[in-house]
Amino acid sequence: MASCGSTPPTSTCRSAPATRPSRRWGRFRTKTSCITTTESGRSTSTAPRRASAATATSMWMPSMSPDPIDNAHRNGTSDPKGDTGMIFKQPFSRRDLLKFAGGAVAIVGTGVWAGNILLPEAASAAIGDPDLYLAGTDGWIFLPKTPAIPPFHPDVLAPDPFTTYIFGFRNVTGLGDTQLTNQKNKAQHSAPMFWTKQFDPAHPVDFTVQLTNLGLALRPDLFDAHTLHWHGFRNVIPFFDGEPSGSVAVRTGRVFSYVYRPREPGTYMFHCHVEDVEHVQMGMTGLVFVRPLQDGQNIGGHTQFIYNDGDGSTGFDREFAMFLSEVWAEAHWADAHIQLPQWSDYRADFGLLNGRVYPDTIAPNAPIDAAASIHALAVQTDPVSGDLVAPVGHPELQYQPQSSLVNCNAGETVALRFANLGFREQAMTLAGIRMRVVGRDATPMRGRDGTDTSYETETINIGPGESFDVVFIAPGHTGPGFDTYMLYNRNYPATNNLAPGGMGGQATEIRVYAPGGLRAQAYPNDLGV
């Protein structure tokens, strides 16, 4: 993707001449970076993590007026270095934080930035409860045990039936506090896929994700913070970017809410940005996408789209996310055994699609709570412990709940959202079906004058940090049963599970059923059976 950073091309927060608003902005940025060294408070909520649950979160912040604008004013005159705020501390409520940082809400609402870099915009509704609750922790996943890579794979510390130590995220929406703390050492890979709708200035609603850092059960000595970084996402300010030297990081036992106003639809990825080579490789990565405002209109026979295309050219009947990641067994073993890998020796032993290797990629999703899958693939959880319910017949995939199987009916338009947060470029090929690339890096394939630059291909070459949006028309059904087409990586080492001659890794199947054979999708990656 174009940029790991958060500064949009139109933003002047780094490059603007020192106009008065920009100077104040600079002060503001200084202040926000101070917060990195402070801590968000622990949630004191005992209610389940639902939209209706009130979460009281406090935070220690540099001394400042409850009104950040006033504070910025003061510092602009009496504190040329903008660092007096580091000296004193006073309690700072979550509401204050959101008012301070979230920002855009209070700042733009008062018109402070009008005429500078942000378009005027009505203030948002009152800060509500988060739309999604994520937790960061460690855990164990399953990868094929043979051939072994002694002593790294399978890891002798792994509880049966698992093989590989990970760091990762979990969707903890709906869990109570005890259930939440139970999820320590129960991370999943890849991270929970989630989505939201493009921000609508006419009906401003912020999208809020609360992140809890549960700590690492196997490595209590590693008191690493975690963050949520939407890679390639154009934040207006870096406060919620998740890059820890320029924004907040969530330390062990702490809670923080990220607030988003996604302006550009398309497919993104997210990852923890703390010690990011390590935390990304260890599994704190997943796919996130933004639905366009055009959704719901009937354009070109579709009501769901990838972009605001105006003509239905990115419309689809079914959608499937394909998140590419890699596992270097030695690095995972090293973190479990209190060792340090030599990252320059990096090799990808396993290529993963949605956190699994073929043929596990075609195993079903874990049981999904369709009604709860509003903003994320909500895997059903044990009603007592809150732990993930494993896919039917696959206890070893309990913490790899996301299937990569593509089920569709003949003649349907299918959207595939690819994102790669492995460290190597890959070449995903769909044998026998032409894919049309309609978007890259959350940008529709249109020239500045609107020229259609989409193209057909059988292979997409997708580098680390890149995303692709493609659509294809499911071919006619010949049956009986379903017709199978292979979607696989042409990069052989990413497709062999280390076994000679075997099919594995980043591969899955497209299964085409007779027209009407599958019900409509209820959520992304729904198999419709």
Q: Restricting to residues 204-233, which ones interact with Cu ion according to CB under 5 A?
A: 226
Nearer to Cu ion by Cβ, of 135 and 498: the residue is 135
Q: Give the per-residue contact string, 444-483, with Cu ion (x = CB under 5 A; - = no).
A: ----------------------------------------
Nearer to Cu ion by Cβ, of 282 and 376: the residue is 282
Of 7-15, 198-206, 266-274, 453-461: span binding Cu ion (CB under 5 A): 266-274
Are the C-beta atoms of 399 and 301 separated by less than 8 Å? no
CB of 107 to Cu ion, least distance (A): 29
Q: Is 273 left (phi over 0), alpha (psi -120 to 50) or beta?
A: alpha
CA distances to 11, 163, 351, 352, 495 from 347, rounded to whole Å, are 38, 18, 10, 14, 14
Q: Which residue has the tokens 């209070």?
A: 106
CB of 321 to Cu ion, least distance (A): 21
Nearer to Cu ion by Cβ, of 27 and 332: the residue is 332
DSSP 8-state code for residue 337: T
Exactly one of 274, 405, 460, 507 binds Cu ion (CB under 5 A); that residue is: 274
With 0-12 CB in 10 A as exposed, 13-18 as middle and 19+ as buried, what is 65?
A: middle
Is 248 a binding residue for Cu ion by CB under 5 A? The answer is: no
Of 281-289, 297-305, 307-315, 368-376: span binding Cu ion (CB under 5 A): 281-289
How many beta carbons lie within 10 A of that of residue 71, not counting itself?
A: 21
Nearer to Cu ion by Cβ, of 242 and 266: the residue is 242
CA–CA separation, 3 and 277 (whole Å): 16
Nearer to Cu ion by Cβ, of 282 and 362: the residue is 282
CB of 275 to Cu ion, least distance (A): 7
CB of 246 to Cu ion, least distance (A): 16
CA–CA separation, 15 and 358 (whole Å): 47
Nearer to Cu ion by Cβ, of 169 and 260: the residue is 169
With 0-12 CB in 10 A as exposed, 13-18 as middle and 19+ as buried, what is 12?
A: middle
CA–CA separation, 6 and 200 (whole Å): 20
Which residue's beta carbon is nearest to the bound Cu ion?
272
Q: How many binding residues for Cu ion (CB under 5 A)?
A: 5
Label the pairing between strands 207-215 and 132-141.
parallel
Is 27 a binding residue for Cu ion by CB under 5 A? The answer is: no
Closest CA to 402 of 483, 267, 317, 285: 285
Is 279 a binding residue for Cu ion by CB under 5 A? The answer is: yes
Nearer to Cu ion by Cβ, of 98 and 272: the residue is 272
Is 24 a binding residue for Cu ion by CB under 5 A? The answer is: no
CB of 251 to Cu ion, least distance (A): 11
Nearer to Cu ion by Cβ, of 237 and 272: the residue is 272
CB of 242 to Cu ion, least distance (A): 10
CB of 168 to Cu ion, least distance (A): 9
Task: Write out the DSSP string of 249-291.
Answer: -B-TT-EEEEEE---S-EEEEEE--TTHHHHHHHT-EEEEEEE
CA–CA separation, 424 and 235 (whole Å): 26
Is 254 a binding residue for Cu ion by CB under 5 A? The answer is: no
Exactly one of 272, 299, 306, 498 binds Cu ion (CB under 5 A); that residue is: 272
Is 49 a binding residue for Cu ion by CB under 5 A? The answer is: no
**SS3 assignment for 192-248:** CCEEEECCCCCCCCCEEEEEEEEECCCCCCCCCCECCEEECCCCCCHHHCCCCCCCC
Nearer to Cu ion by Cβ, of 135 and 284: the residue is 284
Is 273 a binding residue for Cu ion by CB under 5 A? The answer is: no
CA–CA separation, 429 and 470 (whole Å): 12
CB of 219 to Cu ion, least distance (A): 12
CB of 283 to Cu ion, least distance (A): 10
Is 375 a binding residue for Cu ion by CB under 5 A? The answer is: no
Are the C-beta atoms of 325 and 399 separated by less than 8 Å? no
Q: Restricting to residues 55-74, which ones interact with Cu ion according to CB under 5 A?
A: none
Q: Which residue has the tokens 């419709």?
A: 528
Nearer to Cu ion by Cβ, of 271 and 477: the residue is 271
As beta bridge partners, residue 288 has: 194, 268
CB of 270 to Cu ion, least distance (A): 11
Of 18-26, 73-81, 279-287, 447-455: span binding Cu ion (CB under 5 A): 279-287
Are the C-beta atoms of 105 and 209 separated by less than 8 Å? no
Contacts of 2 by beta carbon, 8 Å cutoff, 6+ apart: 232, 441
Nearer to Cu ion by Cβ, of 39 and 206: the residue is 39
Nearer to Cu ion by Cβ, of 95 and 251: the residue is 251
CB of 417 to Cu ion, least distance (A): 24
CA distances to 63, 166, 173, 315, 353 from 333, rounded to whole Å, are 44, 9, 30, 43, 21
Nearer to Cu ion by Cβ, of 355 and 524: the residue is 355
Is 186 a binding residue for Cu ion by CB under 5 A? The answer is: no
Are the C-beta atoms of 190 and 287 separated by less than 8 Å? yes
Nearer to Cu ion by Cβ, of 184 and 436: the residue is 184
CA–CA separation, 196 and 201 (whole Å): 15
Q: Give the per-residue contact string, 490-509, with Cu ion (x = CB under 5 A; - = no).
A: --------------------
Q: Which residue has the tokens 């997708």?
A: 462
Q: Restricting to residues 154-173, which ones interact with Cu ion according to CB under 5 A?
A: none
Q: Restricting to residues 282-341, which ones interact with Cu ion according to CB under 5 A?
A: 284
Q: Which residues bind Cu ion (CB under 5 A)?
A: 226, 272, 274, 279, 284
